Amino acid sequence: MSGHHTSTRLPRTPALGYRPARRTDVETLAELGFLAYRVSSLEKRRDFYTDHPRFTLRDVRVGELEGRIVASLVLYPLTAIVRGQRVPITGVGSVAVSPEHRRRGLGEALMRSALREMRARGDAFSALYAFRGSYYRKLGYGVIEVLQQLAVAPSNLPASDEARRVRRLLLPDRPAVQAVYDRVAAQGHFALERPDAWWSLRLWDYPGDWVVYEGRKRGRIEGYLHYEVDTERGPFRLALTLTEFVAATPEAHRGLVGYLASLADQVQEIHHAAPGDGAWLALLKTAQNLRPGAEIGVFLDTGGVAHGAMLRVTDVKAALAGFPVQPAARGEVLLEVEDEILPANARAWKMSARDGRLHLAAATARGARLPRLRVPVDVLGPLVAGTLSPLRAAEVGLIESAGGADVIESWFRGKPAFLYQMNVF
């Protein structure tokens, strides 16, 4: 018996319109965000678009189908501090697609349009926090922030006489605390600049407790921390979440850690997302994870590894030419970038380092004799941010190297990228 088979195909999604938001879109944006994120109230979502300390309505983009807004995102104008220098970065956040239009490729179409816009207007870098890393990796983003998620008892931290210099934050301390943040961020390798408006409109009223370390010179604040307390299990089995820990001096670091250790009679566990440099692991008296994973052989569990911010290079020449590298960086390589989303980036560059800066020029036939690197764009961000060793990346097949990884191995090396939890956009 013969028959005729007809395949059933989903209807093709119409092209998504992409444009800046208008004042008349606010109510629709608030409703879309409310439905997409199930936030506490429509009013709060409306305020998000009209009264935000980091962006204005000019930074909001919408996606339209048949004249109806079905998706939106925000392009946050941010500044990273890299080796003490300011580097503009466009943050992407609040990506929303209406529930009835999901699984149709609209979010990806919106992001592709945003990436094309960013490159066209000269934005060199873009950063975001991913709901799922694989989704944004195929769009060219790579993880630059790797953290160690600790759950430890206060008794496992070292006591310190410096703890006597820790006290509760007072209103006059606020400017000094902001200055400490700026000082420490400038010493890091990749941190976010924090404007005054973010402190005044978001952080100072944030739930939780602030304490400061006051140095030997009266009134000199050298460090601080912020934490929230979970009282669910009773007043003597508290869980403390350390949301920010900033110390400008070794004494401040010891004092603040000692303060946490002093809470052992009442606090049962401390949760902290620490920079991925292992320093907090060295503070512990012994390996410990109160939320343990499986023990493997002789290995003792001291906490999980978490992925934080992701970075994308949106304009290779502008990004690398404007990015500070190690002052001692020297050498030349031929850099070939793979970028399917932004084909203008997919070309070969002669890249040289001198005086703490990179210099890029179009590759010539003569450049073919240089050490070479072939890098997918989703790996370029982690390389530039110093998160990933070029040599190691070549060893595991993330990039292709013909001597190029050896040349640039030290160029981007520095402290781990750490954007601070209370900067999340």
290 shares a domain with 178: yes
DSSP state of 416: P
DSSP annotation of 424 reads -
pLDDT value for 99: 86
pLDDT reading at 101 higher than 50:
yes
Residue 171 shares a structural domain with residue 295: yes
User: Nearest Cα to 371, choosing from 423, 337, 407?
Assistant: 407
Find the CATH number of the domain harbouring 378. Answer: 3.30.1050.10
Query: What is the pLDDT at residue 368?
Result: 73
3-class DSSP state of 29: helix
Percent of the chain at pLDDT exceeding 90: 83
Residue 6: predicted pLDDT: 47
The mean-pLDDT minimum among 272-276, 311-315, 373-377, 392-396 falls in: 272-276
The verdict on 72 and 115 lying in the same domain is: yes
Question: Do residues 293 and 360 share a domain?
Answer: no
Residue 297 has pLDDT above 90, yes or no: no
Domain count, the chain: 3
| Rounded Cα–Cα distance for residues 285 and 363 (Å) | 53
Q: What pLDDT score was predicted for residue 7?
A: 47
Does pLDDT of 398 surpass 50?
yes
Averaged pLDDT for residues 270-283:
94
Q: Is the pLDDT score of 256 beyond 80?
A: yes
Would you say residue 271 has pLDDT above 90?
Answer: yes
pLDDT at 1: 40
Residue indicated by tokens 């028959």: 3
Q: Are residues 107 and 172 in the same domain?
A: no
108 and 175 within one domain: no
When the pLDDT of each residue in the chain is averaged and rounded to a whole number, the result is 92
Residue 3 counted as domain residue: no
Res 293 pLDDT > 80: no
DSSP string, 166-232: EEE--GGGHHHHHHHHHHHHHHSSSEE---HHHIIIIITTSSSEEEEEE-SSTT-EEEEEEEEEE-T
Which residue from 184, 191, 181 is spatially nearest to 144, judged by alpha carbons? 191
In this structure, the answer to whether residues 330 and 350 fall within a common structural domain is: yes
User: Domain residues for 183?
Assistant: 151-306
pLDDT at position 35 is 87
Query: In the prediction, which pLDDT does 291 show?
Result: 85
Indicate if 263 and 346 belong to the same structural domain. Answer: no
pLDDT computed for residue 10 by the predictor: 47
Mean pLDDT of 389-407: 98
Contacts for 34-42 with beta carbons within 8 Å, 24 or more apart? 35/98, 35/99, 36/96, 36/97, 36/98, 36/99, 37/96
Domain contains 419: no
Residues 302 and 319 in one domain: no
The answer to whether the beta carbons of residues 238 and 206 sit under 8 Å apart is no
**Pair (199, 278) in one structural domain:** yes
Give the confidence band of 219 by pLDDT, cuts at 50, 70, 90.
Answer: confident
Query: Is residue 71 a contact partner of residue 97, using CB atoms and an 8 Å limit?
Result: yes
Provide the CATH number for the domain around residue 32: 3.40.630.30
- pLDDT for 397 beyond 90: yes
Structure tokens given for 240: 């403390």
Shared domain check, 269 and 177 = yes
Residue 216 lies in a domain: yes
Residue 135, domain member (yes or no): no
Residues 52-98 pLDDT 10s: 999 999 999 999 998 899 999 999 999 999 988 999 999 999 999 99
C-alpha dist (Å) from residue 245 to 61, 219, 241, 254, 336 = 34, 19, 11, 12, 40
**Does residue 165 have a pLDDT over 70?**
yes
> Does residue 220 carry a pLDDT above 70?
yes
Residue 189: per-residue pLDDT: 83
Per-residue confidence (pLDDT) for residue 364, from 0 to 100: 80
Query: What pLDDT, in 10s, does the model give residues 37-62?
Result: 877 788 889 999 999 999 999 999 99
Q: How far apart are CA 80 and CA 274, in angstroms?
A: 19
**Confidence band for 249, pLDDT divided at 50, 70 and 90:** very high
Residue 141 within any structural domain of the chain: no
**pLDDT at site 340:** 96
DSSP type of residue 165: G
How does residue 302 score in pLDDT terms, banded at 50, 70 and 90?
Answer: confident
Residue 4 lies in a domain: no
pLDDT-derived band at 102 (thresholds 50, 70, 90) equals: confident
**Which residue in the block uniquely carries the two structure tokens 């303060």?**
259
Q: What's the confidence (pLDDT) of residue 303?
A: 86
What is the C-alpha to C-alpha distance for residues 148 and 129, in angstroms, rounded to an integer? 17
Average pLDDT for residues 227-242, to the nearest whole number?
A: 94
Quick one: 176 and 282 in the same domain? yes
